[in-house]
Amino acid sequence: MNYKQLTEKKKVEIDILLAQNFSMREVGRRLGISHSTISRYKAGIYKKRKIDINQKYGLFIKYLFDHYDRKDHSIEVCVYYFKKNYFAKCPSVKQVYNWINEGKIFLTKDKLCYKKRKARKTGMMAHFEWNLNNKTVLPISLRPKYVENRDEIGHLEIDSIIGKKNEYDSIVSIVDRCTRTTWLIKSIYKNEYYTNKLIYEYIVKNNITVKSITVDNGIEFNALGICAKKLGVKLYKCDPYCSFQRGTNERTNALVRRWIPKGYSLKTITQTYLDNIAFEINTMPRKIFNFKTSYEMELNY
């Protein structure tokens, strides 16, 4: 039978079987190891054969102490150069790490180049709660009910208004669900990362209060989760072909169409003109607010 080095698991199995009064030969047969290995293990011969690592690898230990640096001279590098330049006994990289784990040499785990992180064991409910708290992009079905009440500012709906067919120019409309305050942004590309950067910079520059963002499934908003993450809010995506889930947005777009009809080319539209339209909408008396304007409603919050 071939000799096999005993692992810690095998040692435990040997102790358990011997405690049940099995013979060494029977234990060896069950575990697939030689009975003489079990005999030497029980007699403690392994301990007598251990050699002090400083006696056997003293030169390497000194080299490691003089040259190891966690920034640019790792254990692998030390082993490589020691083998290359010295004709002395050199351990393997794995053996050095075993010494560190067993506390046999001067190095400790906190001085290593790479640190292992312990995984936290949590239940399924804790995992689900973590996803809800940390995931930025969520379906609209998970949007909190208090957002529907329109009791606080900062819950935005964002949509795009297109112009003439086969044109890349468009308008990004942002509207607050509570006060119906509107912002319009000129966009000249349909790239999602460009749109994400455009919206984020506009929100920061104009100091717009943001507590949540709701968008449709347009490809131009595929990267808007990056903006939401930077702002520290959740991004809620509507279901396909459910424009009623963004009713405030759709109604605002209809107001914008009073100045920019459907099919009208947006190439000549400037940001200044869009700012003027937004101002007209925000100063428009609304029946829903008892004929107050959006700007006047903002003063109440």
For residue 180, what is the domain's CATH number? 3.30.420.10
**Residue 218 DSSP symbol:** -
158 in Cβ contact with 173 (< 8 Å): yes
Query: What confidence tier does 50 reach under pLDDT thresholds 50, 70, 90?
Result: very low
3-state DSSP call for residue 275?
Answer: helix
**Residue 236 DSSP symbol:** E
Domain of residue 42 covers 8-49
155-162 vs 170-176, strand pairing mode:
antiparallel
Number of domains in the chain: 3
Q: How far is Cα 282 from Cα 53, in angstroms, rounded to an integer?
A: 80
92 with 196, same domain?
no
Phi and psi dihedrals of 143, rounded to 5? -70, 135
Where are any strands of DSSP class E within the chain? 137-139, 155-162, 170-176, 182-187, 212-215, 234-237
179 with 285, same domain?
yes
149 with 270, same domain?
yes
252 with 157, same domain?
yes
Find the range with the poorest average confidence among 10-14, 181-185, 256-260, 278-282: 10-14
pLDDT at 2: 53
Find the range with the poorest average confidence among 20-34, 172-186, 209-223: 20-34
β-pair partners for 286: 292
Q: What does pLDDT average to over the chain?
A: 84
- Interior/surface letters 6-43, b for 16+ CB within 10 angstroms, e for the rest: beeebeebbeebbeeeeebeebbeebebbeebbeebee
Mean pLDDT of 163-174: 90
The H-assigned helical ranges of 32-92 are 35-43, 45-49, 53-56, 58-67, 75-85
164 with 30, same domain?
no
Q: How far is Cα 191 from Cα 226, in angstroms, rounded to an integer?
A: 14
Tell me, yes or no, whether 122 lies in a domain. no
More confident residue, 285 or 116: 285
Q: How far is Cα 106 from Cα 159, in angstroms, rounded to an integer?
A: 62
pLDDT at 182: 95
pTM over cut 0.75: no
